[in-house]
Copies of this chain bind each other. A is one copy, B any other.
Amino acid sequence: MIAPALTKNQTLVFDVLSHSDGPLSAYTILDKLRDHGFRAPLQVYRALDKLLERGMIHRLESLNAFVACAHQEKACCGAHGHGTVAFAICESCGHVVEFHDHAVDHRLDDWAKQRKFKPAKTTIEIRGLCETCSA
């Protein structure tokens, strides 16, 4: 099962995200792509949806923003991925660190199993101050 190539719009959106040093909102992406012919939010949202499906990008729920997956180029976190992605978000500098913690995943899975809850997507986001900004 080989993933099809990205379309032009998907490529443009992914490039913007992967070259950014922080999360971007859909509208910020739109603005950055006006020169490439983007005119409406839907062009961005459609591309974002596909990239999310593939696990190439992540959505930060607490920011309404998007980041490229830290495991560059591998689609590693998608359907075949290693569990839930977690984020630490610095509220001062905006920097985001993506991490995975198997123990946390396992613990949440256990909770779900006990309640017979079927998880579809799990969000873990820690907002605070990074080492640099809290110094």
Contact = CB atoms under 8 A, between A and B. Distances in A.
Q: A86, A99, A107, A126 — which one has the most chain B CB atoms within 10 A of its CB?
A: A126
A123 B62 contact: yes
A111 B131 CA distance: 13
A40 interface: no
A61 B117 contact: no
Contact of A101 (B61, B107, B128): B107
Interface residues of A, number: 33
Interface in A76-122: 86, 88, 90-91, 97, 99, 101, 103-104, 107-108, 111-112, 115-122
Interface of A: 61-62, 86, 88, 90-91, 97, 99, 101, 103-104, 107-108, 111-112, 115-131, 134
Given A107-B107, A120-B127, A121-B126, 20 more contacts: A61-B125, A86-B108, A88-B115, A90-B117, A103-B107, A104-B104, A104-B107, A104-B108, A112-B126, A116-B130, A117-B126, A117-B129, A117-B130, A117-B134, A119-B128, A120-B128, A120-B129, A123-B123, A123-B125, A124-B124
